[in-house]
Amino acid sequence: MAKDNNFNIQTIGTATIPSPIHLDQMTGDSIYKFIEEKDRILSDVTLQGFNTCLQNNEAPVCLEKAGPRERIFFRPENTTAAIVTCGGLCPGINNVIRSLVMALHYFYGIKRIIGIPFGYEGLSPTSNHSLKELTPDMVNDIHEFGGTMLGSSRGAQPVSEMVDMLENNKIDLLFAIGGDGTLKGANAIGDEIEKRQLPISVIGIPKTIDNDIDLIDKSFGFETAFDTAAPIIRDAHNEATGAYNGVSIVKLMGRDSGFIAASAAIAMPVVNFVLVPEMAFDLYGPNGFFEALKKRLELKNHAVIVVAEGAGQHLFEKEKQITDASGNVQHRDIGLLLKDKIKEYFDSQSIKTTIKYIDPSYIIRSAPANASDSVFCNRLAYHAVHGAMAGKTKFVVGMVNNQFVHLPISKVVHQRKKIDLAGEFWFAALQSTGQPFSMVQS
């Protein structure tokens, strides 16, 4: 981190390969409004952020603005770009692929664009997947579909073999679309490239439906997720009101962070309880969930519960944890547990209930992006291409304080973003649902 004495700010910069070519010389009359290398945005524009810096005698932190640079590093006629998508699906991946291909092809004139099939697995020399040459025609309509046209995967591949593969296929730019794991992988690939002193740029585009990537305002697909969840919750409410003491439980994605569940609950104020991984709660006892649910049923004779998949894991008997191929903990089904235990609790008190458990999580994850996410995906992709062509490497594009910036990958992967249970957003979720503030683990 460099200290900028003129402005008394600290800047988190990104690694750049020196840039010899003037973009306007190359394209003639440029359509771009160039971003100056010195353009920065403050990473924390809140008064509280400034006050904290002043108190600690620290300079506020600034981030590099994303956008086209006047000087680029890669000569388009000799440049090959590759795109890889890893980890779980998320609305908008195809929009990002499409906009990357269009920007590479039409803005910079890059003719060779390679799609890596099935995540990092496709970069392994031992895999049987064949590389796909991508053209604008091939990607023209893919934004209309959810999922990823390239396929995805989890599981580790040897980094040196992946870099061999990039070298052998003369790839100059690698765009890695993925979450925490993918970005760690991209950073490891970038380190190996640096070690070999190769002029290859590695660019991360943060993808996670859970919205759990640190520092950035939001990740693409997250808004579509709670947008798609909203009508499902509305219908779940109809189910709940259609029976005496009807209880609908809707499970949404959210492995370690409950942003989708909490946002969906605020968006659809028929939700009475929102259970997230950040909040441990008791089932029994005066401040337990069941007592609160009982009060709710006594009052209104129906209830809607939205639960994030990672919530309530403390309620399962401790067993050996199961992990997926990438080492992520696979959670037990909290929705099923709640369904069974709620029935047991109310049956034991001879209170009749009708419980419906709805799990739309994978359907939501594979939906196409909504209009707002489509705009966001498009802009992320354009910025990723501009940063890459300027020779920047081991960086992610993201939005911070409503501005597109470059961040070193290493800065966003060291911890996951979670809901602040003392923060305004969580209070809004509790107020909107009417869930008792006291309903936490004693």
Ligand X SMILES: Nc1ncnc2c1ncn2[C@@H]1O[C@H](COP(=O)(O)OP(=O)(O)O)[C@@H](O)[C@H]1O
122 marked as binding residue: no
Q: Which of 437, 44, 128, 434 shows the shortest CA–CA distance to 265? A: 434
Give the contacts of 228 (CB within 8 A, at least 6 positions apart).
91, 360, 363, 364, 367, 370
Between 86 and 225, CB nearer to ligand X: 86
165 marked as binding residue: no
Q: Kindly identify the residues of this chain, within the stretch 62-121, that bind ligand X according to CB under 6 A.
A: 86-88, 119-120
Q: According to CB under 6 A, which one of 255, 294, 339, 394 is a site residue for ligand FBP?
A: 255
Q: How far is the CB of 402 from ligand FBP (least distance, A)?
A: 23
Element (H, E) at 261: helix 259-267
Q: Which does 309 bind (CB under 5 to 8 A by kind): ligand X, ligand FBP, none?
A: ligand FBP
Is position 223 an interface residue for ligand X (rule: CB under 6 A)?
no
Rounded Cα–Cα distance for residues 23 and 391 (Å) = 12
Q: What one-character-per-residue DSSP string does 300-325 give?
A: HSEEEEEEETTTTGGGSPP-PPPB-T
Is position 243 an interface residue for ligand X (rule: CB under 6 A)?
no
Cβ pair 99, 375 in contact under 8 A: no
Q: 226 vs 49, 254, 256, CA distance in Å?
A: 29, 11, 16
Q: How far is the CB of 143 from ligand FBP (least distance, A)?
A: 20
Tokens at 14, concatenated? 């990104």
135 marked as binding residue: no
Q: Which of 132, 149, 194, 193 shows the shortest CA–CA distance to 167? A: 193
Is position 182 an interface residue for ligand X (rule: CB under 6 A)?
yes
Between 13 and 158, CB nearer to ligand X: 158
155 marked as binding residue: yes
Q: Kindly identify the residues of this chain, within the stretch 110-149, that bind ligand X according to CB under 6 A.
A: 119-120
Q: Indicate the DSSP class of residue 107.
A: I
How would you label 113-138 residue by residue, b for 16+ Cβ within 10 Å and e otherwise?
A: bbbbbbbbbbbbeebebeebebeeeb
Q: 136 vs 45, 97, 105, 339, CA distance in Å?
A: 39, 10, 7, 48
Q: Which does 156 bind (CB under 5 to 8 A by kind): ligand X, ligand FBP, none?
A: ligand X
Count CA within 13 A, CB hemisphere, residue 142. Answer: 26
The active-site residue, picked from 24, 29, 191, 210, is 210
Q: How far is the CB of 165 from ligand X (least distance, A)?
A: 14
Binding segment for ligand FBP among 117-125, 169-177, 249-257, 425-433 (CB under 6 A)?
Answer: 249-257
Q: How far is the CB of 139 from ligand X (least distance, A)?
A: 22
Amino acid (one-letter) located at 118: F
Count CA within 13 A, CB hemisphere, residue 351. Answer: 20
Q: According to CB under 6 A, which one of 210, 278, 291, 373 is a site residue for ligand FBP?
A: 210
Is position 365 an interface residue for ligand FBP (rule: CB under 6 A)?
yes
Is position 88 an interface residue for ligand FBP (rule: CB under 6 A)?
yes
Residue 210 a catalytic site member: yes
Q: What one-character-per-residue DSSP string does 326-344 give?
A: TSPBPPP-HHHHHHHHHHH
Q: According to CB under 6 A, which one of 67, 68, 87, 368 is a site residue for ligand FBP?
A: 87
Rounded Cα–Cα distance for residues 215 and 300 (Å) = 41
182 marked as binding residue: yes
Between 12 and 159, CB nearer to ligand X: 159
Q: Kindly identify the residues of this chain, within the stretch 271-290, that bind ligand X according to CB under 6 A.
A: none
Q: How far is the CB of 220 from ligand X (least distance, A)?
A: 13
Is position 156 an interface residue for ligand X (rule: CB under 6 A)?
yes
Rounded Cα–Cα distance for residues 308 and 257 (Å) = 8
- What does the binding site for ligand X look like in residue numbers (CB under 6 A)? 86-88, 119-120, 153-156, 159, 178-182, 184-185, 188, 208, 326, 328
Binding site residue list for ATP? 88, 154-155, 179-182
- What does the binding site for ligand FBP look like in residue numbers (CB under 6 A)? 87-88, 179, 208-210, 253-255, 309, 324, 328, 365
Active site residues: 210
